[in-house]
């Protein structure tokens, strides 16, 4: 029961790594609060989180909605011990596609803006709302979802890679700013992971992911959740400002 009675917020908790993390935290005694834009998915997960859990339908890009959510949680539970900034989206496309010297397609501005809003601004919104509560209680853990593509880049993911690299930068900055308040801040950089979204990809794409992973398989969501659990627990009490890769030794090629 490594998180017994800890109040843990998890964004994007309705599916994938967020869902696995919520269930793992609950199994270790945490009082888990999840948010997601998908109400049905969120309520389905909530049913498995036990007493004291909570789900709210929240869009992390909505600054006021995030602040209201955090304030309500703090009022109900009287503290916030852990924030997992997990919510994220992809909108993949090449920067530009040229055929016979002519531009035929490019990443849409709307696709770039949407990914920046959720994956980067959403992390900023949630952390800025939670941090004052952690400062007042003189303790807390903030965990941010980065990605191996934030470390290495990836073909067709200008927007996604930019956000995940920026999350690492914010993690290091917040580690400097918040450490003096006994708030630990770390990031996790998963490799290719068998979430519901990834499982729907064509077999050829999945095989390519496996080929780039020396362990010869994709990660299971629970393997990422286990890393979040360790970082959230007192076992990682001196881990601060780090980015932990959970990627099976992946090497991204061109």
- Is 219 a residue whose pLDDT tops 70? yes
CATH of the domain at 59: 3.40.50.720
User: Does residue 254 fall inside a structural domain?
Assistant: no
The per-residue pLDDT for 254 is 43
User: Does residue 146 fall inside a structural domain?
Assistant: yes
77, 133, 152, 160: which is the annotated catalytic residue?
Answer: 160
Q: How many residues does the chain have?
A: 254
Residue 196 banded pLDDT, cuts 50, 70, 90: confident
Q: Residue 26 has which token pair?
A: 């609950």
Residue 198 banded pLDDT, cuts 50, 70, 90: confident
pLDDT tens readout for residues 5-41: 999 999 999 999 999 999 999 999 999 999 999 999 9
Going by C-alpha positions, the residue among 172, 207, 203 that lies closest to residue 186 is 172
Contacts for 174-178: CB closer than 8 Å, 24+ residues apart: 174/127, 174/131, 174/142, 175/240, 175/241, 176/241, 178/131, 178/134, 178/135, 178/140, 178/142
pLDDT tens readout for residues 122-171: 999 999 999 999 999 999 999 999 999 999 998 899 999 999 999 999 99
- Is 185 a residue whose pLDDT tops 80? yes
- Is 206 a residue whose pLDDT tops 50? yes
- Is 100 a residue whose pLDDT tops 60? yes
- Integer Cα distance of 14 and 61 in angstroms: 17
pLDDT tens readout for residues 36-86: 999 999 999 999 999 899 999 999 999 999 999 999 999 999 999 999 999
User: Does residue 169 fall inside a structural domain?
Assistant: yes
* Structural domain boundaries enclosing 131: 7-246
User: Does residue 252 fall inside a structural domain?
Assistant: no
The per-residue pLDDT for 205 is 84
- Is 253 a residue whose pLDDT tops 80? no
User: Does residue 253 fall inside a structural domain?
Assistant: no
| Entry pTM | 0.95
Q: Is 18:251 a contact under the CB 8 Å cutoff?
A: no
Catalytic: 160? yes
- Is 202 a residue whose pLDDT tops 90? no
User: How many structural domains compose the chain?
Assistant: 1
- Integer Cα distance of 76 and 63 in angstroms: 20
Q: Residue 198 has which token pair?
A: 């990834």
User: Does residue 1 fall inside a structural domain?
Assistant: no
The per-residue pLDDT for 197 is 77
User: Does residue 2 fall inside a structural domain?
Assistant: no
- Is 209 a residue whose pLDDT tops 80? yes
- Is 252 a residue whose pLDDT tops 70? no
- Integer Cα distance of 252 and 5 in angstroms: 40
Q: HEC states along the chain?
A: CCCCCCEEEEECCCCHHHHHHHHHHHHCCCEEEEEECCHHHHHHHHCCCCCCCEEEECCCCCHHHHHHHHHHHHHHHCCCCEEEECCCCCCCECCEEEECCEEEEECCHHHHHHHHHHHHHHHHHHHHHHHHHHHHHCCEEEEEECCHHHHHCCCCEHHHHHHHHHHHHHHHHHHHHHHHHCEEEEEEEECCECCHHHHCCCHHHHHHHHHCCCCCCCECHHHHHHHHHHHHCHHHCCCCCCEEEECCCCCCCC
């Amino acid at each position: 029961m490594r998180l017994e009675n800890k109040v843990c917020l998890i964004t994007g908790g309705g599916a994938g790594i967020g869902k696995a993390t919520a269930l793992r935290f609950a199994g270790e005694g945490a009082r888990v609060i999840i948010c997601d834009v998908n109400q049905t998915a969120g309520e389905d997960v909530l049913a498995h989180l036990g007493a004291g859990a909570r789900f709210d339908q929240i869009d992390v890009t909505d600054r006021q909605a995030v602040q209201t959510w955090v304030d309500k949680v703090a009022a109900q539970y009287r503290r916030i011990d852990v924030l997992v900034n997990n919510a994220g989206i992809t909108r993949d496309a090449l920067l530009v596609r040229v055929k016979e010297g002519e531009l035929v397609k490019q990443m849409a501005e709307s696709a770039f803006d949407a990914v920046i809003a959720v994956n980067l601004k959403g992390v900023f919104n949630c952390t800025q709302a939670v941090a004052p509560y952690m400062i007042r209680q003189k303790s807390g853990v903030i965990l941010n979802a980065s990605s191996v593509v934030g470390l290495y880049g990836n073909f067709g993911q200008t927007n996604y890679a930019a956000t995940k690299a920026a999350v690492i930068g914010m993690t290091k900055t917040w580690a400097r700013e918040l450490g003096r308040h006994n708030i630990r801040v770390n990031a996790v950089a998963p490799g290719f992971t068998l979430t519901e979204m990834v499982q729907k990809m064509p077999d050829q794409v999945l095989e390519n992911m496996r080929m780039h992973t020396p362990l010869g398989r994709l990660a299971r969501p629970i393997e990422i959740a286990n890393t979040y659990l360790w970082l959230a627990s007192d076992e990682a009490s001196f881990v601060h400002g780090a980015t932990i890769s959970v990627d099976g030794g992946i090497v991204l090629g061109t």
